[in-house]
Amino acid sequence: MSHPFETLTPDLVLDAVESIGFLSDARVLALNSYENRVYQVGIEDAEPLIAKFYRPQRWTNEAILEEHQFTFELADREVPVVAPLIHNGASLHEHAGFRFTLFPRRGGRAPEPGNLDQLYRLGQLLGRLHAIGATRPFEHREALGVKNFGHDSLDTVLQSGFVPRSLLPAYESVARDLLKRVEDAYAATPHQNIRMHGDCHPGNMMCRDEVFHIVDLDDCRMGPAVQDLWMMLAGDRQECLGQLSELMDGYQEFHDFDPRELALIEPLRALRLMHYSAWLARRWDDPAFPRSFPWFGSERYWGDQILALREQLAALNEEPLKLF
Please name every residue paired with 40 in a beta bridge, in sequence order, or none if there are none: 29, 50
Catalytic choice (76, 155, 177, 199): 199
SS3 194: strand
* Rounded Cα gap, residues 302 and 296, in angstroms: 8
Query: What backbone torsions phi and psi does residue 266 show, to the nearest 5 degrees?
Result: -70, -40
First to last CA, the chain: 57
| Strand boundaries in 140-274, DSSP class E | 193-196, 205-208, 211-214, 221-224
State which H helix or E strand residue 49 sits in.
strand 46-53
What is the rounded distance in angstroms from the CA atom of residue 206 to the CA atom of residue 203?
Answer: 7
204 appears as a binding residue in the annotation: yes
* Widest CA span in the chain: 60
Number of continuous H segments (helices) and E segments (strands) in the chain: 10, 9
Q: Give the integer Cα–Cα distance in Å for 209 and 107.
A: 10
- 243, 113 Cβ separation under 8 angstroms: no
Q: What is the C-alpha radius of gyration for the chain, rounded to an integer number of angstroms?
A: 21
Quick check: is 216 catalytic? yes
Helix (H) or strand (E) holding 43, with range, is: strand 37-43
Whole-angstrom distance, CA of residue 158 vs CA of residue 168: 8
Catalytic (active site) residue 285: no
Rounded Cα distance between 204 and 208, Å, is: 13
Residue tagged active-site, from 216, 218, 228, 286: 216
Which residues line the annotated binding site for Mg(2+)?
Answer: 204, 216
Which residues line the annotated binding site?
Answer: 204, 216
Q: Which residues are catalytic?
A: 199, 216
